[in-house]
Every structure is written in structure tokens, then in C-alpha cells.
Amino acid sequence: MRTIPEFTNDKLEGIFKEAIAEYNDKTDAQIDYSVTMNTIAITGKEDSSLIKLIQKIGKPYVQNQKMSDDEIKAAEKSAELTGMTFSTDEILTMGVSGGTDGSKFLINQPKGFDYTMFGPGNDTMHKDNESLAKSMYFDYIDIYKQLFTEYLS
């Protein structure tokens, strides 16, 4: 489960406790649960300097992609399903609700931190046979090197 700022882990856990208690009261079976990782939803800065730097550094890589017409159509369809537009010229951003293990690093700054989720990927993420083009893998190594050098200087 991934939670959102508007509906905290505590609220969700309360629903589970209530449902389990009700089930255990009504049946001879006894069930239980455990929380193995409690991440909080975090909210980054809309005008993030990190995002602006990613867009600047990544733009030439985006513009040099060699996508077929079919790949562009598939990317446009995926973007549309998430409420985004698609661009072959620039890195677009969107805000999403949800928790990530990255929140463990931001436990004391869940709102307004210069934070982003940025990495290689395509429409096979979190699916069977997830894959990535070798060129994209190596491009991101170069992007990260430049990003870290500039952002941390």
C-alpha cells in the first residue's frame, strides 16, 4: 500500500485494525497483521531547483532519443493514462500522491524538500520482463554524474 498526505498511514492502519477485530469477533478464526515498512508520503517543492537542473541536463538526452513512431504513440498513450502530456523535446514533470522508501531519508522534512523521483524507465516498469535499453542505462549514468556534480557544488 502507498499512502497519500491526505490519508495517513495511521488512518489506514485504524481501518485494518477495525476490520480485523470485527472479523475475529464474528468467526472462530483469528487473523492478525504486521506492518513491515511504514513510509510516509512526502511533498516536494513545485519550483525545485533540483527539478530545473534535471530538466536542463536531461534535455539533450531526450532530444537525441531515437524513438520510432510506434514507440512515440505508446509513450503518448501511457502519458495520457496518467494525465500527462508527452514530449520528445523536454523532461516534463508531474506531482503524484504516494509514499516511497525515499521518505525514510526525509522523515524530518516531509513537505517542501528539494526532492524528486527521476530515473530511467519505460512502460515495462514493475511488470513481467521489465527491461531497459542499454543506451538509456548508460545515458543515465552520465546524467547522474553531471547532476550530482552540479547540484552538490
pLDDT at residue 141 in the model: 97
Phi-psi region of 58 (alpha: psi -120 to 50; beta: other; left: phi over 0): alpha
pLDDT digits (tens, 9 = 90+) for 100-149: 777 777 777 767 778 888 899 877 878 898 999 899 999 999 999 999 99
pLDDT digits (tens, 9 = 90+) for 24-47: 999 999 999 898 887 777 777 778
pLDDT at residue 99 in the model: 65
**SS3 call for 141:** helix
CA distance linking residue 15 with residue 23, whole number of Å: 12
Give the number of other CB atoms < 10 A from CB of residue 147: 18
Residue type for position 10: D
C-alpha cell recorded at residue 16: 485494518
Read off the pLDDT band of 1 (50, 70, 90).
low
Give the number of other CB atoms < 10 A from CB of residue 143: 19
Please tell me the pTM assigned to this model: 0.73
DSSP string, 37-73: --PPB-EE-TT-HHHHHHHHHHHHHHHT----HHHHH
**Cβ atoms of residues 56 and 146 within 8 Å:** no
Radius of gyration for the alpha carbons in the chain, expressed in angstroms and rounded:
20
CA distance linking residue 55 with residue 61, whole number of Å: 10
State what percent of residues in the chain have pLDDT above 70. Answer: 95
